[in-house]
């Protein structure tokens, strides 16, 4: 999978997993990128 770059500061984003949901976070600005449906899954996981 190609590396996702932060749209805010062009830093390589890290893939993290919380409550069984994978998402990408920028280690520099701590911005988060969620794919379709991931926000709902995280909210349901509480």
> What's the predicted TM-score (pTM) here?
0.79
The pLDDT of residue 21 is above 60: yes
As a whole number, mean pLDDT of residues 4-10 equals: 95
The pLDDT of residue 24 is above 90: yes
3-state secondary structure (DSSP) of residue 3 = coil
Surface-to-core class of residue 2, CB atoms within 10 Å of its CB (0-12 exposed, 13-18 middle, 19+ buried): exposed
Residues 22 and 39: beta-carbon distance below 8 Å: no
Residue 46: per-residue pLDDT: 75
């Amino acid at each position: 999978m190609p590396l996702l770059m932060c749209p805010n500061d062009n830093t390589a984003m890290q893939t993290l997993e919380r409550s069984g949901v994978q998402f990408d976070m920028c280690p520099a600005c701590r911005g988060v990128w969620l794919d379709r449906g991931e926000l709902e899954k995280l909210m349901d996981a509480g």
